[in-house]
Structure formats: C-alpha cells, structure tokens
Structure 1
C-alpha cells in the first residue's frame, strides 16, 4: 500500500470514528446552583424540564446534572422549597441527576453540629466545584440560571 493510500485510509477511519462517536453521544448539560433562592432553584428546574422536552421532541437524548454547593445546597436539603419538584423529576426520568457538595455539607455540620439531611434523590460528590470542572472536561455544557 502506498504512503498516500495509507494516509487516505487513516483519515477515513478517523473521520468515521469521530462521526460514530458524535452520533452516539447525548446532549450533556451541567446546571450550577450556588444560591439559596427559591426563584433560582425553580429556574434551574425549569431549565431541566425545558431541555428534556426540547430534546425529546427532536428524538435526541439528553443527560442533565444539577450540581449544588455553598448556599445552593439548600436546594437538596430535606426541607428544600423545591423538594416536591425534584422528587417528581427523579421519578419521571432517569436522565436527571442531583449532586450535593460534601465540602459544603462538612461546613454546615461544623457550624451546626449536625450533618445536613439530604433528599433521597441527591448524590454526594466530594466537591461541587470540582464536579463542575469534571463534567465540563467530559463534554458537558455549563448552565448557570
């Protein structure tokens, strides 16, 4: 096989692999909540609903992760003002995930003397900021309502 033929074959395989990876990938979005504001929390959940509806209508898949830290962790606490919406979303779809920052939880525990109680839908991550970085490195788009 000539050098030019090898180069053409390698290029074709690279393009085919990239196309296959693109076709298989879902839309992936990281939604950042760092405010203890019910309006911001509801806006984040509205973003989740709107993104789900849009991509479902197009026949495309979407993965969503709401990452909370700092004052935004209140969104995932047992007494959250949006707990009913979060529970409903988690039951309706398996493509929405809720992450709670362990650093923020440790700060709350240090201040109050008790570990904060999270909603059952929340998954604890070591650091909310680090989680957002990791998601973006994995190709997630970043949204801050």
Structure 2
C-alpha cells in the first residue's frame, strides 16, 4: 500500500510539472469551476473550454485551461457514473492544453461515504483542495469562469 501511495504522489507531482510547464508557455489562461452535479453544467464547462481553445488556436495563440471540480461537481469525474466521461476522454487526447482536476477533499469524503475507493477517470489529476486550486490559479493570472 505504501508503494502505491508513493507512486501516486510521484505521478501527481510529475503531472503538475508538465501542467505547470505548459501553462507557463501559454499566452492565455482559464480556470473553469464545476461544483454542481448537473450534466448541463458539466457540458457547458466542456463547451466553454473547447470554444476558448478553438478561439485562440484560430488566432495562432496558446491557452492553458484547467477545469476544477469539487463538491457535487466531482460526479463529473467519477469513473462509474460521469455523464461526460466520453467527452473528457476525447478532449484529453485531442487537447493537452485542457487539464481536468478533482478536489482531494471531496474525493476523500466520497470514499468515506461510500465505504470504498471511488475511482476517478484516468484523465483526472487530483489536487488536495479544489477551492485552494482555484485560488492558486487566479493568483497565477488565470481568468475565472463558473458556468
């Protein structure tokens, strides 16, 4: 178990290194906040990300986009029941400038509530706190959108 936790921490840190490097090179930065278990809101967040990416790509400019989910919005990333899992998988492959992050606090609470480890989609990067992550992103100059 300790080895698994160590590997998870190393993967998380290396993932953030890649994310941070890509974000530093981007001309524009956008943080999208999802805190509702509503497929319409989830799809709107994904549409916003795609539209922003396409807008700047058409201008030959780069953008870093991070979609942060917490609270009821974490259902967007739960492997067994995400209503947008197919879109997230496709977007993750097609758009490396879009990063999907999940609140670790919410995930831990969900694990406790369900009495088991609730798996998240493989494309998701878990952060300790979704709210803190949004604060950090805004401090790094990210524009903030809550659909």
Q: TM-score range by the shorter chain?
A: 0.7 to 0.9
1:85 pairs with 79, 84, 87, which one? Answer: 87
The answer to whether residue 46 in structure 2 is matched with residue 45 in structure 1 is yes
Residue 62 of structure 2: aligned partner: 61
Structure 1 length as normaliser, TM-score?
A: 0.82
2:131 pairs with 1:129: yes
Within a 5 Å distance, the mapping from 1:1-145 to structure 2 comes to 25-78=26-79, 79-145=81-147
Give me the TM-score of the superposition, normalised by structure 2: 0.81
C-alpha displacement of 1:88: 0.4
Give the Cα separation in 2 of the matches to 1:141 and 1:106: 28
Distance 1:38 1:129 in 2: 21
Give per-residue Cα distances to partners, 1:61-97, cap 9 Å, x unaligned.
0000000000000001102000000000000011000
Q: Matches of 2:108 and 2:87 in 1, distance apart?
A: 26
Runs of 4+ more than 6 Å apart: none
Aligned-pair distance for 1:109?
A: 1.2
Give the direction of change, closer, same or farther, for the CA distance of 1:25–1:122 in structure 2 (3 Å limit).
closer
Q: Distance in 2 between matches of 1:40 and 1:34?
A: 9
Secondary structure class of the residue paired with 2:60: coil
Decide which structure has the larger Cα Rg and report it. 1
3-state DSSP class of the match of 2:64? strand
- Deviation (angstroms), 1:105: 0.7
